[in-house]
């Protein structure tokens, strides 16, 4: 009979609370690697557990939502570079603790979207939160609905608001893509050149090699 001493039990408990493991870390690294090649994402989505695999409608919704979070300017928007698919994969693999069981009691508004493992299905929640007609609305109305959701999520200390995790993963997906990391952001190979004084203007782009320069809201 196998026994677990108190130290092992405490370690397992701490790991469970963090919602992180070696397998999660490897999965996260794989997601970042896959994100550098957009065609690979569709194949990985197909390999997900059927309970986590998105419907075509959900993929479209995440693509459009991503493009509203970071719209196209002189560089492609987040949906175009595959940040929506990245977010779906990241949510399925539990990045940012998104597969942790929800703390009890679970809010009534979230209960319909709780998985068997007691984690939240963020994509289904977002689909419901935006409404069944959101995809068919004009872009201005789509933007208004998402902006209202965003304002509510970041008002006060709404740390449990699911949109925060979704938006953070969309931003991560975009800024770790080839376009986001090397075109939207400036890139200079380390160590680069030392400039003691660099003029900063409103048009100055952050450096992708300086991760802290990326503001995640």
Tens digits of residue pLDDT in 172-189: 999 888 888 777 777 766
200 vs 183: CA distance, rounded Å = 18
pLDDT of amino acid 22: 46
Q: Which of 33-42, 88-97, 101-110, 125-134 has the lowest mean pLDDT?
A: 33-42
pLDDT band at 26 (very low <50, low <70, confident <90, very high): very low
**Does residue 92 have a pLDDT over 60?**
yes
Extract the tokens encoding 3. 């026994």
Tell me the pTM: 0.72
Q: Are 184 and 217 in contact (CB under 8 A)?
A: no
**Chain center to CA of 112:** 21
Rounded CA separation 83/62 (Å): 8
Percent above pLDDT 70 for the chain: 70
What is the dihedral angle through the alpha carbons of 50, 126, 104, 165, rounded to the nearest 10 degrees? 90
Q: Are 184 and 204 in contact (CB under 8 A)?
A: no
CA distance 53 to 44: 10
Calculate mean pLDDT across residues 21-36: 48
Q: Residue 166 above 90 pLDDT? A: yes
pLDDT at 157 over 60: no
Q: Please determine, for residue 21, whether its predicted confidence score (pLDDT) is greater than 90.
A: no
- For residue 51, the model assigns a pLDDT of 83
Cβ count near 190 (within 10 Å):
6
Q: Identify the three-state secondary structure at position 207.
A: strand
Which is more confidently placed, 46 or 138?
Answer: 138
Under 8 Å between Cβ of 173 and 79? no
In whole angstroms, what is the distance from residue 177 CA to residue 35 CA?
6
- Position 40 scores a pLDDT of 54
Residues 6+ apart with CB under 8 A from 91: 98, 99, 122, 123, 165, 166, 169
Average pLDDT of the residues in 141-151: 95
Name 70's Cβ contacts closer than 8 Å, sequence gap at least 6.
77, 78, 83, 170, 171, 174, 180, 184
């Amino acid at each position: 009979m196998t026994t677990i001493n108190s130290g092992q039990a405490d370690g397992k408990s701490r790991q469970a609370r963090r919602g992180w493991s070696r397998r999660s870390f490897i999965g996260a690294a794989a997601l970042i690697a896959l994100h550098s090649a957009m065609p690979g994402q569709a194949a990985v989505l197909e390999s997900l557990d059927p309970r986590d695999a998105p419907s075509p409608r959900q993929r479209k919704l995440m693509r459009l939502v991503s493009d509203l979070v970071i719209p196209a300017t002189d560089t492609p928007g987040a949906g175009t570079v595959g940040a929506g698919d990245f977010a779906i994969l990241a949510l399925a693999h539990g990045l940012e603790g998104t597969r942790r069981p929800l703390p009890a009691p679970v809010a009534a508004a979230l209960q319909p979207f709780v998985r068997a493992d007691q984690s939240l299905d963020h994509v289904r929640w977002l689909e419901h939160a935006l409404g069944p007609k959101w995809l068919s609305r004009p872009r201005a109305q789509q933007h208004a609905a998402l902006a209202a959701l965003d304002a509510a999520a970041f008002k006060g200390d709404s740390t449990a608001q699911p949109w925060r995790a979704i938006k953070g993963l969309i931003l991560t997906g975009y800024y770790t893509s080839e376009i986001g990391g090397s075109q939207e952001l400036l890139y200079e190979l380390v160590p680069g050149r030392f400039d003691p004084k660099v003029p900063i203007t409103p048009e100055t782009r952050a450096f992708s090699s300086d991760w802290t320069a990326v503001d995640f809201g």
